[in-house]
Homo-oligomer: A and B are copies of this chain.
């Protein structure tokens, strides 16, 4: 069990809580957070009678840890959350389409693709400035120069911008330039980054890790929300299995499990799951049909010369087809 202290609780309040816990025969550990302090009760078998604790000064509430996530849970927040990004409603009636290249490579490339995806109906432009790459020798992104190009894209096209933050340093920059901060699958359990994202002033899109259960994904979202940022969009992007016909196995039932257990909106990224462009359109259709709130999809004007993930990027005309098919499904 967790005893959540009020924001204005003093050191003395916390100590009194710990003393009471010891009297009850358990052990109390203070966990100071940026926003508030929590006191963790350990050593108990089964449930703890919390009435005495709730009576103490400075105590806001208690959380039974047996249900591991709380703030992101649908149980505590039955209505589905809609997250506004400008005038786009993520989690609203219309599926949201976020499209663009894997990595920002140049102004010409970024603007060229952005105009195309805008024309066909995308609402958000995606593109990486900081790229987490398996090899230290692969192209790692343009960094802040890339972010500036993204800003230009927004100014020229009006598209909202989503781009990835990969550590506690570049998230400062990403927060300044982007409309949505993306946290990638490899960083789903990078708790320092999650906590920092929880103090960000922008919405966060959190991708499911390759080997993460739905509960773990929701726990990672809980890390963000426990720091105060409630604007979280989740994203299924394929899991690692034995199956070798796609790069990862897209688990569309994840959309259902997330919606069952959480009030947060959920998108699907068919590009990273499939790893090949010819599967992206049908998987996008399936994502919308299963009930996802939108898709995150890679589009490149010149996939053959893309600096990363070219194989899975749609050609512009394929993206046009995708948009048409999704619209007919969503109506």
Contact = CB atoms under 8 A, between A and B. Distances in A.
Interface in A268-295: 273-274, 278-279, 282-283, 285-291
Contact of A253 (B33, B68, B245): B245
B253 A137 contact: no
Contacts of A168: 167-169, 192
Interface in A72-127: none
A214 B53 CA distance: 44
A65 B211 CA distance: 27
B252 A252 contact: yes
Contacts of A219: 134-136
B137 A40 contact: yes
A257 interface: yes
Contacts of A249: 239, 241, 249, 251, 253
- Which of the listed residues A135, A239, A291 has the most CB atoms from chain B within 10 Å of its own CB? A135
Contacts of A260: 278
A242 B250 CA distance: 13
A13 interface: no
Contacts of A195: 136
Contacts of A216: 134
A27 B219 CA distance: 42
A245 B222 contact: no
A253 B247 CA distance: 10
B211 A211 contact: yes
Given A134-B219, A169-B192, A242 B256 contact: no
A226 interface: yes
Interface in A311-329: 329
B244 A241 contact: no
Interface of A: 2, 27, 29, 31, 33, 38, 40, 42-43, 63, 65, 68-69, 132-140, 166-169, 186-187, 189-193, 195, 209-211, 213-214, 216, 219, 222-223, 226, 239-246, 249-257, 260, 273-274, 278-279, 282-283, 285-291, 305, 307, 329
Given A31-B139, A65-B135, 8 more contacts: A27-B307, A134-B219, A135-B222, A187-B190, A245-B257, A249-B251, A249-B253, A256-B283
